[in-house]
Chain A
């Protein structure tokens, strides 16, 4: 059973191809992430899936229903949080939830929602007085107002401070416990790694990698990353010669060596540094992440 099935999704705006042939199959109960930089086509994909935009080509099925024929039935069973959508400024949190609930045939009790997103104390505050994180939690509560089976969250944590982001992660974890299917987009790789069962890495409107975070890392890296400052005086040629180094990436102020044999590589590196009298401060050895996957696939970092 798939909650979302899409094949050959395609959308262009004038000269710009926003989404260039995307296939998706999101299982029920799964938290599925779409990870990519700004402008990769995440929002356009989301808006086509929820029925706010018509794809130029491609087929979509949501909860096994056809949006063209059963649009209203689908809308009653999905919850949507849009990246750019604003609220009625002068309504209180509770009034906003009650209003949104009235659009649906079935809905969750407002107090339960307030509890879920931890906004009980702000229930009677006008939305314009909420902080960014509180507004975002309200948006997520609005997406859950109809107790839908499938939730679309478009960059739910963008622009939030780390603490506010963690609180939203907790809410999304609760959705998992409730057995909801969640489709979320993000450009934070740690968010995708922490929350998502599976991740589609998207760039220039195409999926360039798909799998669980661990699978993706394992598939693209048998290696471990060794980071050192770019200004260390060691050039790429020397570094590439070191034992165990499979390839290197130079990014702004930082060089990353990907090594299949960390002890050998580090030993050789220290030897080289000593010989040339180079300081190796800020040397760091870490496991490869989705960021490395993206870097390897596109030659760019997700956020630049």
Chain B
């Protein structure tokens, strides 16, 4: 027992005194969160740079201009028509709307006026959205001016499965899954390096039982996994306002499970490969596709159909699903039984192979 505790302590010291390792395990996921978060944290909102050329001095034009500025997705830039059109051609604006000279006068006498809307024909989304917003707005103005009552309207009732998911909500559990995978796989890299330097060989000539060393190794990995989880959850909360909706105890249990899956896989790989380079090669071939194809960063719908079977073969998909449900209340992709079954199965198989091929030097 004393040997176990001192080995755990030795591992923690070895880890915490090595700045490079610390950087990899703590800073890397953080950089990932901040980078991805910055890219995706726009809440999925759209914004359009729209140019407005007001050529009419009358009250109607001023009213329409005010109404346009009130549209939340429009960023209005005002100027004369030539300048605005030039900006559109340079790609600085998505659309240019002109309120023509005779607008107020024509409206006074009940004459129809068409507002020219210029847009970049290559930008399909801009066209659809800008035109439909403008149509809505003119129809509404029209209705008010003519005093016709609105007979049919719509009431917007957003209904979503689970909680409202922003990109960052989806991403954060993915980043946690990725960190757990890397902790498990690259953590073993350290073990192999020490095995190659024959740090452990010396222990083989002492009465220390093998399982004590292994248990200490795994304990430290799980502790680091929990610390990583706390860091990731708190940074997500502070910087991107991602609320942890689940139960902490369940989350920690899932993190332990996830860490165990990948730590076992790591030791299995360490058993197969002899040298540091060999292990690194295998780990990269395992972890790289898993990172991008397991659906931890993008929902399954974004994947081309032929890649979806690949995804179901990756343990990271199931861990990601579980963590997403627990952390941000996402809707389940697989049932709980499937998730736990697959992860448990992976753990058992890789542990069995890890023990089978384990070497001390």
Using a CB–CB distance below 8 Å, which chain A residues touch chain B? 50-52, 72, 75-76, 78, 80, 82, 84-91, 95, 98-100, 102-105, 126, 142, 146
Interface string of B9-26 (1 = CB under 8 A from A): 010011001100000000
B148 close to chain A: CB less than 8 A: no
A90 to B12, CA, bound (A): 10
**Given contact pairs A102-B3, A126-B17, A87 touches B206 in the complex (Cβ within 8 A):** no
**28 A–B contacts, CB within 8 A, in A order:** A50-B205, A52-B201, A52-B205, A72-B207, A75-B205, A80-B202, A82-B201, A82-B202, A85-B198, A85-B199, A85-B201, A85-B202, A86-B194, A86-B198, A87-B199, A88-B10, A88-B13, A88-B14, A88-B199, A89-B14, A90-B13, A91-B10, A99-B6, A102-B3, A103-B3, A103-B206, A104-B206, A146-B206
- Are A90 and B198 within 8 A (Cβ)? no
- Are A95 and B199 within 8 A (Cβ)? no
Interchain nearest-CB distance for A118 vs B (Å): 21
**Given contact pairs A82-B201, A85-B201, A85-B202, A103 touches B13 in the complex (Cβ within 8 A):** no
Q: Give the residue of B2, B13, B206 whose beta carbon is less than 8 angstroms from that of A95.
A: B13
A51 to B201, CA, bound (A): 11
**Given contact pairs A85-B198, A103-B3, A75 touches B14 in the complex (Cβ within 8 A):** no
B141 close to chain A: CB less than 8 A: no
Q: Give the residue of A50, A95, A105 whose beta carbon is less than 8 angstroms from that of B10.
A: A95
B171 close to chain A: CB less than 8 A: no
Chain B, range 5-62, C-beta contacts under 8 Å to A:
6-7, 10, 13-14, 17-18
- Are B17 and A80 within 8 A (Cβ)? no
**Given contact pairs A85-B198, A86-B198, A102-B6, A91 touches B207 in the complex (Cβ within 8 A):** no
Interchain nearest-CB distance for B193 vs A (Å): 10
Chain A minimum-CB-distance residue to B361: A52
A88 to B217, CA, bound (A): 14
Complex contacts, B208 vs chain A, CB 8 Å: 103
- Are B202 and A99 within 8 A (Cβ)? no
- Are A51 and B205 within 8 A (Cβ)? yes
Complex contacts, A51 vs chain B, CB 8 Å: 204-205
Interface string of B189-230 (1 = CB under 8 A from A): 000001001110111111110000000000000000000000
Nearest 5 CB-CB pairings of A with B: A86-B197, A90-B17, A80-B205, A85-B202, A103-B208
- Are A86 and B207 within 8 A (Cβ)? no
Interchain nearest-CB distance for B64 vs A (Å): 70
A75 to B17, CA, bound (A): 31
A126 to B16, CA, bound (A): 13
Q: Give the residue of B18, B194, B201, B207 whose beta carbon is less than 8 angstroms from that of A75.
A: B207
- Are B10 and A99 within 8 A (Cβ)? yes
**Given contact pairs A98-B6, A99-B6, A104 touches B199 in the complex (Cβ within 8 A):** no
Per the CB 8 Å criterion, the residue count for chain B at the interface is 21
Q: A90-B14, A99-B10 are in contact. List 7 more A-B contacts (CB 8 A).
A: A75-B207, A84-B198, A88-B199, A90-B17, A98-B6, A103-B207, A103-B208
- Are B198 and A103 within 8 A (Cβ)? no
Complex contacts, B17 vs chain A, CB 8 Å: 90, 126
- Are B7 and A78 within 8 A (Cβ)? no
Interchain nearest-CB distance for B25 vs A (Å): 15
Interchain nearest-CB distance for A9 vs B (Å): 17
A91 to B204, CA, bound (A): 19
Complex contacts, B205 vs chain A, CB 8 Å: 50-52, 75, 78, 80, 82
A76 to B347, CA, bound (A): 35
Complex contacts, A82 vs chain B, CB 8 Å: 198, 201-202, 205
- Are B198 and A91 within 8 A (Cβ)? no
Interchain nearest-CB distance for B271 vs A (Å): 19
Complex contacts, A98 vs chain B, CB 8 Å: 6
A84 to B204, CA, bound (A): 13
A2 to B248, CA, bound (A): 62
Complex contacts, A105 vs chain B, CB 8 Å: 207
A91 to B199, CA, bound (A): 12
Complex contacts, B2 vs chain A, CB 8 Å: 102
A82 to B197, CA, bound (A): 12
Chain B minimum-CB-distance residue to A80: B205
Interchain nearest-CB distance for A119 vs B (Å): 18
Interchain nearest-CB distance for A193 vs B (Å): 28
Chain B minimum-CB-distance residue to A100: B206
- Are A91 and B203 within 8 A (Cβ)? no
A243 to B204, CA, bound (A): 58
Interchain nearest-CB distance for A262 vs B (Å): 48
Complex contacts, B13 vs chain A, CB 8 Å: 88, 90-91, 95
Q: Which of B10, B13, B194, B207 has the most CB of A within 10 A?
A: B207
- Are A104 and B207 within 8 A (Cβ)? yes
A272 to B118, CA, bound (A): 115
A73 to B6, CA, bound (A): 22
Interface string of B168-206 (1 = CB under 8 A from A): 000000000000000000000000001001110111111
